[in-house]
Amino acid sequence: MLDHPTRIGRLALVGLGLIGSSIARGARANDLVDTIVAIDRDPAVLERVRTLGLADHVTDDLAAGVAEADLVILCVPVGAVGPVTAALAGALKPGAILSDVGSVKGAVMAAAAPHVPDHAAFVPAHPVAGTEQSGPDAGFATLFQGRWCILTPPEGTPPEAVARVRGFWEGLGSVVETMTAAHHDLVLAITSHVPHLIAYNIVGTAADLETVTQSEVIKFSAGGFRDFTRIAASDPTMWRDVFLNNKEAVLEVLGRFNEDLAALARAIRWDDGDALHALFTRTRAIRRGIVAMGQETAEPDFGRRGAKG
């Protein structure tokens, strides 16, 4: 349980998909809040939230849902953050903190910040955690345990607001770091966005090959292709918005990737086994480093087996 200064009296979650429902479960399991309000425009999602008992109050009314909230977290696709913020900003009470969970920060801050009233604070956040699943049933309380959460508060944000958001995420089990939005977007382009784009592309390429039937692609899926399909099963709306809102960083990293891929093709063409072995040795060490840091396990299937247990 958090000490009083970082405890949240009333938490409003806008969007109850994987991340929103996991926050609700984690906040309840760790006794971080007094009251949880779930806000979503989808009647089926709201009904499921009621059935699962994820919140104390459930509504499709943005203004009413956030009116008395101490902390409002937007768990919506990054392309929707601006319009949603504009719709709810007038209902934020004095001293309220608005945050989000988007994996793009520069565009989100540009779209949302102008709508945040002076009597409220805006502390953007990105929990670097997730699965390919979506919806309120997909969430689990330990999703953020041991995972990073990056805060990108705009210049001039009250330190106490940043501290409360930091304390909340630490209460969920996250390791919190603060950086600029521009640096965040470049780092995530390398570690998340471009890998997802490659996964979508390779799965699409396999599906389009005329010499391989779909049944063969599925039947003979070994570990590499199977793991690509896990990533490529991620929410299409969310990832469409990610690429459109982080295009500069993604294109910069894609340019470097294409250069490295061309070098790899040359090594294969010219039987340069030393270059291939050197690259594979270096990348193997990176994988082992990720495991050593606790951001993954050495088990197969991305260490996801029993994740909800």
Last residue of a domain, one of 126, 144, 179: 179
Q: With 50 as the cut, is the pLDDT of residue 92 above it?
A: yes
Residues of the domain holding 38: 8-179
pLDDT at 173: 95
Whether residues 17 and 164 share a domain: the answer is: yes
CATH number of 212's domain: 1.10.3660.10
pLDDT at 225: 76
Token pair 């197969």: residue: 300
pLDDT tens, residue by residue, 164-217:
999 999 999 999 999 999 999 998 888 888 888 888 888 887 777 756 665 676
Distance (Å, whole) CA 174 – CA 212? 43
Given a contact cutoff of 8 angstroms between Cβ atoms, the answer to whether 133 and 302 are in contact is: no
DSSP string, 215-276: HHHHHT--HHHHHHHHHHTS-HHHHHHHHHHSHHHHHHHHHHHHHHHHHHHHHHHTT-HHHH
pLDDT tens, residue by residue, 3-18:
444 689 999 999 999 9
Q: Is 219 inside a domain boundary?
A: yes
Domain tally for the chain? 2
Distance (Å, whole) CA 65 – CA 48? 17
| Tokens matching residue 288 | 């082992």
Give the pTM.
0.78
The H-or-E segment that residue 305 falls in is none
Q: Is 288 inside a domain boundary?
A: no
CA torsion 162→238→128→142, rounded to 10°? 100
pLDDT tens, residue by residue, 223-257:
677 777 777 777 788 888 888 888 888 898 899 88
Q: Is 302 inside a domain boundary?
A: no
Whether residues 114 and 210 share a domain: the answer is: no
Could you tell me the maximum CA-CA distance found in the chain, to the nearest angstrom?
Answer: 66
Whether residues 65 and 188 share a domain: the answer is: no
DSSP string, 12-44: EEE--SHHHHHHHHHHHHTT-EEEEEEE-S-HH
Whether residues 91 and 238 share a domain: the answer is: no
pLDDT at 231: 77
Q: Which residues pair with 148 in a beta bridge?
A: 175
